[in-house]
Chains A and B, each alone.
Chain A
Amino acid sequence: QLQESGPGLVKPSGTLSLTCAVSGGPISSYNWWSWVRQAPGKGLEWIGEIFHGGSTNYNPSLVSRVTISLERSKNQFSLNLSSVTAADTAVYYCARGGVGLSTPENFDSWGQGTLVTVSS
C-alpha cells in the first residue's frame, strides 16, 4: 500500500514536497516507483520514476524542476517540484511501477492521491 503526504497549499515560486510511504513490503521489492499527477478535471501526467537502487528518470517537460529521491530506511520515496505555478495545481499520486516493465505489479498499486494547490 502507498500513502502520499505533504502540504496541500504551496505558494507560487515555492517548492512542492511530497512523500510516499510504502507499506506491506520493502521498497526494494519492486524495481521502479513513480509519481503521476492529474490537474483538476484533466488527464494523467507522468512526472518521473526512481529505481530502488536510486537512479531516476524524469519527464522532459518537468526535468528542470523535479527531483525524486528515496529513503530506504523509512521505506518511502519523495517528490520535490521547484518554481511552482498555478499550472502545477493537481492531485499528485505515487504508484508502484515504471517504464519498460511489463509485470502484473506494474502500476497495480497507487496511493489515494493528495491535492496540492498553488496559490498565494
Chain B
Amino acid sequence: ENVLTQSPGTLSLSPGERATLSCRASERVINNYVAWFQQKPGQPPRLLIYGASDRATGIPDRFRGSGSRTDFTLSISRLEPEDFAVYYCQQYGDSPLTFGQGTRLDLK
C-alpha cells in the first residue's frame, strides 16, 4: 500500500502566520490524486483540497494545495483562529485508499 508520511507532527503558529504542511508518499500517487482534510474535535473530516491542488466547494483561497508524484504540500496563508485543527492528507489514486497520520496545527 502507498504509505503517506506527514510532517511535522505538530506545528505551533500564531494567527496571521503562514503554515506549510508536508505529505510524502512511499510510491508515486496515481494521477496526483491527493486530498487534504481538516478535522476538529468531535467532527468528521472536512474536505479542503482534491486532485492535489483543487479547492473544494466553499474553501477559502488562503488554503492552497500543491505537489506531484510523491511530495505534496498544503499551505495556509494568514492563519485564522478557526484554522487550528488536525490536517490529514489522503491518496485515492490506488487501492487501498490511505491517509497520512495527521499534522496538528496548534495555537502558539
Q: How far is the CB of A106 from chain B (nearest CB, A)?
A: 6
Query: Which residues of A lie under 8 Å from residue B50 when comparing CB positions?
Result: 102-104, 106-107
A99 on interface, CB distance cutoff 8 Å = yes
Q: A102-B50, A107-B37 are in contact. Are A46 and B44 (CB under 8 A)?
A: no
A86 on interface, CB distance cutoff 8 Å = no
Query: Which residues of B lie under 8 Å from residue A9 when comparing CB positions?
Result: none
A111 on interface, CB distance cutoff 8 Å = yes
C-alpha gap A108/B101 in the complex (Å): 20
Nearest A residue to B51 by beta-carbon distance?
Answer: A102
Q: A44-B45, A106-B35, A108-B57 are in contact. Are A98 and B99 (CB under 8 A)?
A: no
A112 on interface, CB distance cutoff 8 Å = yes
A110 on interface, CB distance cutoff 8 Å = yes
Q: A43-B102, A46-B97, A98-B97 are in contact. Are A107 and B31 (CB under 8 A)?
A: no
Nearest A residue to B99 by beta-carbon distance?
Answer: A44
Interface string of A76-112 (1 = CB under 8 A from B): 0000000000000000010101111111101110111
C-alpha gap A97/B1 in the complex (Å): 19
Q: Is the CB of A108 within 8 A of B88?
A: no
Q: Is the CB of B56 within 8 A of A104?
A: yes
C-alpha gap A49/B39 in the complex (Å): 21
Residues of B that sit less than 8 Å from A by CB: 1, 30-31, 33, 35, 37, 43-45, 47, 50-51, 54, 56-57, 88, 90, 92-102
Residues of A that sit less than 8 Å from B by CB: 34, 43-46, 49, 57-61, 93, 95, 97-104, 106-108, 110-113
